[in-house]
Amino acid sequence: MGELKLMKGNEALAEAAIRYGADAYFGYPITPQSEVIEYLSEQNPYERTGMVVLQAESELAAINMVYGAGASGKRVMTSSSSPGVCLKQEGLAYIAGAEVPCVFADVVRGGPGLGTIQPSQADYFQNTKGGGNGDYRNIVLAPASVQEMCDFVALGFDLAFKYRMAACILSDGAIGQMMEKVVLPDQKPRMTDEEIKAKYPWAINGRKNGTQHRIITSLDLDSAKMEEHNIHLQKKYKEIEEKEVRYEMINCDDAEYVFVAYGSSARIAQKSVQLGREAGLKVGLLRPITLWPYPTKAIDALIKKGVKGFLSVELSCGQMIEDVRLACNGRVKAEHFGRVGGIIHTPEEVLEAMKKQIIGE
Amino acid sequence: MTVQDIIKPENLVYQKSKLLTNKPFHYCPGCGHGTVHRIIAEVLEELGVGDKTIGVSPVGCAVMAYDYFDVDFAEAAHGRAPAVATGIKRVWPDKVVFSYQGDGDLAAIGTCETIHTCNRGENITMIFVNNGIYGMTGGQMAPTTLEGMKTATTPYGRKATLPAGAGFDGIPNNGYPLHITELIARLPGTKYVTRQAVYDPAHVRNAKKAIRKAFENQINGKSGVNFVEIVSNCNSNWKMEPVAANKWLVENMLPEYPLGDIKVDGKLVEK
Amino acid sequence: MTEEIIIAGFGGQGVLSMGKILAYSGIMEGKEVSWMPSYGPEMRGGTANVTVIVSDERVCSPIINAFDTAVILNQQSLDKFESKVKPGGYLLYDPNGITKKPTRKDIHIYTIEGAQLASDMGNSKVFNMIILGAFLKLRPIIDDKNVEEGLRHSLPERAHKLIPLNMEAVKVGKDNVKQA
Ligand SMILES: Cc1ncc(C[n+]2csc(CCOP(=O)(O)OP(=O)(O)O)c2C)c(N)n1
Ligand code: SF4
Ligand SMILES: [Mg+2]
């Protein structure tokens, strides 16, 4: 077993990046995720592993530093919180178009605009539907614990490099700020320059004499080629939808009514399931771990098994509910419940909402 | 004298500006932001422009400046206050428009807006509170942080460069303290550029005069940006008592950021 | 067993580190724990608080609105959290600097002269451990040997020589908690 520690989610994310052998982190302070760059600065990873850590002048600069370093085949990460992630959207669209692998974390706070620094899940649209321009997707992983904040760094990098795209760790202020036990992985070595050159022939790190130069770009003026490029991207996304869906089911085997919730809300809904079961209700929880690709088929399977209704529990005014409804396609009832503005719903009110909005009298 | 005597109108020697609301400042005791607010409000009151002033607050500790000034206010995104102020001033050219920003807001994320607003010579007043740190977010490095200064993101002290490595005789690290005020003073679009402080009464008086001039220029139709930097403190994140913070400011900040006018009536001041 | 605790006072009183030691001790006791600080500009004005949950089962939300126990170290925090203690719960406070005492009748109220006792011990730094001791006397959820282990984990190596002094402070806290 690895090292057991009590850590904040933000610190676990940072430590995991060092231990994964990440090459660089570029970031800009913002509450509630400033601990990521603070922890990295304090740990001096440049001395520990040679990992570069840089405080950029803005999120806009940070994501473009990621674009540059990622294009060269290095493993790079950035993190921010909601208003900062807005500024990253331009870069993320370029990263998608140019197929640059990278990991970014959004430790979500309430909006719109400056909003509140308290936890929220209202960046679901921004991250799963793509806030930048064009037809693109980012893989979105939703940690529900400090342990997953740590584990999803490795998973994110693996997926990002497998598919040459951005992987988002979509967390929130509660998971970022809270301390919990976490078992840390062992330190992995950073890849050598030779290993990078051998493994990622697309990366721009100086071409070999006599070989074709490589170009990282999202642009093509030739419409036919641009269409081809878009079709290529869509094929990649399709493959991910087939292969990379991840979720967890709790008490769903005999469930008639199911909560759908991710991250912080899933922890609360899990308690609601327990309370519901104690009261004799056949309730369960579907916890999407990938928010894109979405576990649409899991919802479909639950309906086929007899689930009569879903309650999407989110710290938002109702965003993921759209994906739940798409999956239900009108066959069963699907409603949303959630508190916003930094208020976190209680397990009791979540269960009450299930009774009122879905189960009925 | 009884309390009743003391509070008689004829015994009044000083009062809070009418352009400040009754809301208590949320600033840490000893912070310069409160003093800067006060003198801005006094200047606006003395100039009689409370009903035609529009302020733009930053993202930083002064984000809620709108709660304290009894004038119309907009709150901008982080770093964008000069653009928001430009938008207002262009469509209401006869109003008195000012932005109020910290060093992270004005000189890091908002550098682009700062430079271009100054370069266009917008007829606004820009107030820049330089405390060498990100106060609001808990004391991270700002572009103005002094070399060697410890912050949450430079826990071992800001180092502009690291020693030799990677084939270079130095590796770029956190860069150098950014003198944005000197930079924008070089732009033809700035009319009045000055650096002041508020750590003692004499300097508060000077700073007030400067702020007054920066507003008068705008009101009198002198074109161009009027830019007042205030070298201030952040005792909380500098982790000092207020008095010690002001002493530290004099000994460390002022040598790096010397006080005085940098540009007057569109002309650089010869030093 | 689930114990939901708020610890609140001035920044600099060791509120957050006391919470962290409690949480680490909980882990050593084999419990599930969460530690959630107040964060951001909420701290302007100098107050700090932390919610610690120690439980036999996985903690669902680290942010809660009602507490089994409130450990209160200044007046502002007393004003804010007295009403948030669950009926039948505990309120432990240091009377030093408290001008308006708690008034509720449906909770157990205790005091600990932490500041005074720390100065009697000749070390103001052990203040928060005295408070922790008082808390553990009222809510014996963690064994002393696990508190010692918790300290070992949350203090940096160079401070380990101070563990006996800290455990002494815990004992002083336990011995001096008084019903209000
Ligand atoms: C896009 C975006 N990025 C980051 C932040 C977080 N943030 C809020 S204030 C601030 C810096 C404030 O520092 P400064 O401008 O120096 O003002 P001070 O608090 O020191 O007066 C930052 C980084 C934000 N609100 N929005
Ligand atoms: S944190 Fe610093 S800048 Fe902000 S109010 Fe406190 S002293 Fe002032
Ligand atoms: Mg500042």
Q: Tell me if chain A has a CB within 8 Å of the CB of C58.
A: yes
Q: Tell me if chain B has a CB within 8 Å of the CB of A41.
A: yes
Rounded to 5 degrees, φ, ψ at B251 are -80, -25
Ligand 1 atom closest to Cα of residue B130: 16
Query: What is the rounded CA–CA span in Å between residue A58 and residue A240?
Result: 31
Residue B265: CB atoms within 10 Å: 12
Contact assignment for B109 to A57 by CB distance below 8 Å: yes
Distance (Å) from CA B105 to ligand 1 centroid: 6
Contact assignment for A55 to B77 by CB distance below 8 Å: no
Q: For the residues of B166-222, what is the DSSP string, one character each?
A: TTBS-EE-S-----HHHHHHTSTTEEEEEEEE-SSHHHHHHHHHHHHHHHHHHHTT-
Query: CB within 8 A of B47, min separation 6: which ones?
Result: B96, B212, B215, B216, B219
Give the ligand with the smallest distance to the CA of B136: 1
Ligand 2 atom closest to Cα of residue B60: 4
> What is this structure's pTM?
0.96
Contact assignment for B26 to C46 by CB distance below 8 Å: no
- The helix (run of H) or strand (run of E) holding residue C124 is none
- The answer, yes or no, to whether any atom of ligand 1 lies below 6 A from the CB of B97, is no
A3-193 and A247-359 share one fold: yes
Q: Is the pLDDT of residue A1 over 70?
A: no
Yes or no: say if A235 and A99 are a contact pair by the CB < 8 Å rule: no
Q: Which of B236, B237, B240, B241 to mutate to test the interface with C (most CBs of C within 10 A)?
A: B236
Q: Is the pLDDT of residue A361 over 70?
A: no
In this prediction, what percent of chain C has a pLDDT beyond 70? 96
Q: Tell me if chain B has a CB within 8 Å of the CB of C46.
A: yes
Q: What confidence tens digit (pLDDT) does each residue in A220-252 have? A: 999 999 999 999 999 999 999 999 999 999 999
Within 8 A of B138 by CB-CB distance, chain C residues are 40, 43
Helix (H, G, I), strand (E, B) or coil at B164: coil
- The answer, yes or no, to whether any atom of ligand 1 lies below 6 A from the CB of B62, is yes
The whole-number pLDDT of residue A220 equals 95
Subunits close to A (at least 3 CB pairs below 8 A)? B, C
Query: What is the rounded CA–CA span in Å between residue C33 and residue A143?
Result: 17
Residue A90: CB atoms within 10 Å: 16
- The answer, yes or no, to whether any atom of ligand 1 lies below 6 A from the CB of B230, is no
Ligand 1 atom closest to Cα of residue B134: 13
- Give pLDDT tens digits along chain B (271 positions): 788 888 888 888 899 999 999 999 999 999 999 999 999 999 999 999 999 999 999 999 999 999 999 999 999 999 999 999 999 999 999 999 999 999 999 999 999 999 999 999 999 999 999 999 999 999 999 999 999 999 999 999 999 999 988 899 999 999 999 999 999 999 999 999 999 999 999 999 999 999 999 999 999 999 999 999 999 999 999 999 999 999 999 999 999 999 999 999 999 998 7
Within 8 A of C48 by CB-CB distance, chain B residues are none
Query: What is the rounded CA–CA span in Å between residue B226 and residue B239?
Result: 33
Contact assignment for B28 to C41 by CB distance below 8 Å: no
Q: What confidence tens digit (pLDDT) does each residue in B61-77 have? A: 999 999 999 999 999 99
Residue A15: CB atoms within 10 Å: 24
**CATH code linked to domain A3-193:** 3.40.50.970
Distance (Å) from CA B237 to ligand 3 centroid: 10
Yes or no: say if A251 and A273 are a contact pair by the CB < 8 Å rule: yes
By C-alpha distance, the chain A residue nearest C22 is: A6
In this prediction, what percent of chain A has a pLDDT beyond 70? 99
Contact assignment for C63 to A347 by CB distance below 8 Å: no
Please name the member of A46, A55, A113 whose beta carbon is closest to the beta carbon of B141. Answer: A55
Which of B31, B67, B101, B233, when mutated, tests ligand 2's pocket best, judged by the most ligand atoms within 8 Å of its CB?
B31
Give the closest residue (by CA) to ligand 2 atom 2: B234
User: CATH number for the A247-359 domain, one of 3.40.50.10470, 3.40.830.10, 3.40.50.920, 3.40.50.300?
Assistant: 3.40.50.920
Confidence of residue C12 (pLDDT cuts 50, 70, 90): confident
For chain C, what are the domain ranges? 2-179
Q: What confidence tens digit (pLDDT) does each residue in A84-125 have? A: 999 999 999 999 999 999 999 999 999 999 999 999 999 999
- The answer, yes or no, to whether any atom of ligand 2 lies below 6 A from the CB of B74, is no
Within 8 A of B28 by CB-CB distance, chain C residues are 44-46
- Domains with residue ranges and CATH for chain B: 18-266 (3.40.50.970)
**Section C81-95 average pLDDT:** 97
The whole-number pLDDT of residue B24 equals 93
By C-alpha distance, the chain A residue nearest C54 is: A180
Distance (Å) from CA B181 to ligand 3 centroid: 15
- The answer, yes or no, to whether any atom of ligand 2 lies below 6 A from the CB of B33, is yes
Q: Which of A7, A178, A271 to mutate to test the interface with C (most CBs of C within 10 A)?
A: A178
Rounded to 5 degrees, φ, ψ at B196 are -130, 180
Q: What confidence tens digit (pLDDT) does each residue in C35-85 have? A: 999 887 655 656 789 999 999 999 998 988 899 999 999 999 999 999 999
Q: Which of B105, B115, B133, B140 to mutate to test the interface with A (most CBs of A within 10 A)?
A: B140
Rounded to 5 degrees, φ, ψ at A265 are -60, -30
Ligand 2 atom closest to Cα of residue B30: 7
The whole-number pLDDT of residue B3 equals 87
**Section A268-284 average pLDDT:** 96
Yes or no: say if C38 and C47 are a contact pair by the CB < 8 Å rule: yes
Give the closest residue (by CA) to ligand 1 atom 5: A30
- The answer, yes or no, to whether any atom of ligand 2 lies below 6 A from the CB of B135, is yes
Give the ligand with the smallest distance to the CA of B238: 2
Q: B187 vs chain C: nearest CA distance in angstroms?
A: 36
Q: C46 vs chain B: nearest CA distance in angstroms?
A: 8
For chain A, what are the domain ranges? 3-193, 247-359
B52, two tokens: 């035609």
Give the closest residue (by CA) to ligand 2 atom 5: B27
Distance (Å) from CA B153 to ligand 1 centroid: 14
CATH superfamily, with its number, for domain C2-179? Pyruvate-ferredoxin oxidoreductase, PFOR, domain III (3.40.920.10)
Judge residue B64's burial from the number of C-beta atoms within 10 Å of its C-beta, 0-12 exposed, 13-18 middle, 19 or more buried: middle
Ligand 2 atom closest to Cα of residue B236: 7
Strands A257-260 and A283-288: parallel
By C-alpha distance, the chain B residue nearest A53 is: B173
Within 8 A of C43 by CB-CB distance, chain B residues are 138
The whole-number pLDDT of residue A130 equals 82
Give the ligand with the smallest distance to the CA of B130: 3
Q: How far is CA A86 from the centre of its chain?
A: 15
Subunits close to C (at least 3 CB pairs below 8 A)? A, B
Q: How far is CA A357 from the centre of its chain?
A: 29
The whole-number pLDDT of residue B85 equals 98
- The answer, yes or no, to whether any atom of ligand 1 lies below 6 A from the CB of B105, is yes
Strands A247-250 and B260-264: unpaired
Contact assignment for B61 to C46 by CB distance below 8 Å: no
Ligand 1 atom closest to Cα of residue B237: 20
Q: What confidence tens digit (pLDDT) does each residue in C117-126 have? A: 999 999 999 9
Q: When comparing pLDDT for A282 and B13, which is higher? A: A282
